[in-house]
Amino acid sequence: MQQIKKLFYRNGKSYFSYVMIPVLFLVLMAAFQLDLINTYWQTIILLSGINGIVAMSLNLINGITGQSCLGQAGFMSIGAYVSAMCTKLVFDGFMTSGFSSYLFFIISLLIGGAAASLIGLLIGIPSLRLRGDYLAIITLGFSEIIRVAWRVIPPAGRAMGLNTIPKLSTLPMVFISVVIVMLVLRNFTNSRFGRSCIAVRENELAGETMGINTTRIKVLAFVLSAFIAGVGGGLYAHMMTFINPDTFNQIKSTDMVLYLYAGGVGSFSSALLGATVFSFLPEVLRSLGEWRLVIYSLSLVLIMINRPKGIFGKHEFGFMRYGEPENIHMKAENSGILSSLFQKLAYRRRKAERAPAAGKGDQ
């Protein structure tokens, strides 16, 4: 693995992930096209990508800006309903060929995201002026309001929800969305705005004395996060082909928080990996029957005890890494379960290399 990685070093930077992402895409694409994976697992793979998008959007609020949002499913549902209504009711007549249906699907996703970010703006402006846990309570309440609101809106199908949504969330759509979202979030975090988000997380008062308009920064991060969650919701609706208000209940919001914190809060790549692992885990454990949920919950408890920073820690992996290279202090702070495993293995290898030499010395 290390030898392979070394092939992609240029100017002290590793381009490994730039190569691995297209390779992963081609492998998945081939597996999907040749039916090496059955439809059930295909759905799980797509679902983990979509969950990853929403978990990453949540990381922007909870991990980077240091606020707490517990209602991400609310934004998902706005994106899902608005984009589904667009493709089903508005653009239906235009979606004749393959190309035009994807074009209008992308437009619908963006409209869904924009609607979610508009609502995000409306609830963000009053609530983000406050400090502390108010935002958590407000977002919790908001996602419930949205859920109830869809029950009384006729075009949204009331409690029946929407069905026969065109199935447009294919592997390329989801995969490319994940990559685009990663790039957008990386560049945002690396920008002046992103750095001020981190400053708000670290110390809001100090941020203010540095000349940061902290309310504006928080609202900006919230709106961007809502947009991405809305796009994630849109993809979800067009994968499942039916949605109803209860699809996006409190459990969905909690799942997103779980993916983020079990993966590693503060890092987008950890959020994505966490979402992947914890979307797969319940399905992998399905053969265990009713013990499934016991083991699932137990594994969460064990992770939180042994790895309070999440399985993958605060690391950004591959091309998601930005800014200065990680130094020893950051490594100690950020280490996740994998990096500490690698460190342990490297330590054992060094010890094993040294042991025979030391043995010879004794004779």
Of 163 and 203, nearer to other proteins (C-beta) is 203
Of 281, 260, 261, nearest in space to 272 by CA: 260
Of 92 and 333, nearer to other proteins (C-beta) is 333
Minimum distance from residue 212 beta carbon to other proteins (Å): 6
Of 6 and 13, nearer to other proteins (C-beta) is 13
Query: 214 CB contacts (<8 Å, ≥6 apart)?
Result: 196, 200, 204, 207, 208
Is residue 211 near other proteins by the rule CB under 8 A? yes
Of 343, 231, 177, 255, nearest in space to 247 by CA: 255
Minimum distance from residue 136 beta carbon to other proteins (Å): 21
Residue 182, both tokens: 């990663």
Is residue 196 near other proteins by the rule CB under 8 A? yes
Facing residues of 9 across strands? 14
Of 216 and 350, nearer to other proteins (C-beta) is 216
| Residue from the set 195, 283, 318, 338 that interacts with other proteins by CB under 8 A | 195
CA 61 from chain centre, in angstroms, equals: 12
Q: Distance between CA 115 and CA 141 in Å, rounded? A: 18
Query: Mind giving me the DSSP string for 117-131?
Result: HHHHHHHHHHHTTS-
Is residue 212 near other proteins by the rule CB under 8 A? yes
Of 328 and 357, nearer to other proteins (C-beta) is 328
Of 39 and 327, nearer to other proteins (C-beta) is 327
Q: Which residues of 95-109 are buried (b: 16+ CB within 10 A; e: fewer)?
A: beeeeebeebbbbbb
Read off the DSSP letter of residue 324.
S
| Residue from the set 192, 305, 353, 361 that interacts with other proteins by CB under 8 A | 192
Minimum distance from residue 196 beta carbon to other proteins (Å): 6
| Residue from the set 10, 329, 353, 361 that interacts with other proteins by CB under 8 A | 329
Which run of H or of E encompasses 82?
Answer: helix 72-85
Of 17, 38, 32, nearest in space to 171 by CA: 32
How would you classify the pairing of strands 9-10 and 13-14? antiparallel
Q: Distance between CA 58 and CA 44 in Å, rounded? A: 20
Q: Distance between CA 273 and CA 247 in Å, rounded? A: 23
| Residue from the set 209, 353, 360, 361 that interacts with other proteins by CB under 8 A | 209
Q: Kindly state the number of chain residues that form the binding site for other proteins, as judged by CB under 8 A.
A: 24
| Residue from the set 90, 152, 210, 295 that interacts with other proteins by CB under 8 A | 210
| Region near other proteins per CB under 8 A, out of 159-167, 178-186, 222-230, 320-328 | 320-328
| Region near other proteins per CB under 8 A, out of 130-138, 192-200, 249-257, 274-282 | 192-200
**Using CA of residue 314, residue 315, residue 319, residue 324, what is the dihedral sign?**
positive
Of 114, 66, 50, nearest in space to 256 by CA: 50
| Region near other proteins per CB under 8 A, out of 70-78, 133-141, 150-158, 203-211 | 203-211
Residue 305, both tokens: 């005890």
| Region near other proteins per CB under 8 A, out of 160-168, 211-219, 235-243, 351-359 | 211-219
| Residue from the set 290, 324, 353, 362 that interacts with other proteins by CB under 8 A | 324
Residue 342, both tokens: 């690698």
| Region near other proteins per CB under 8 A, out of 124-132, 161-169, 201-209, 231-239 | 201-209
Is residue 159 near other proteins by the rule CB under 8 A? no
Contact footprint for other proteins (CB under 8 A): 192, 195-196, 198-199, 201-203, 205-214, 323-324, 327, 329-330, 333
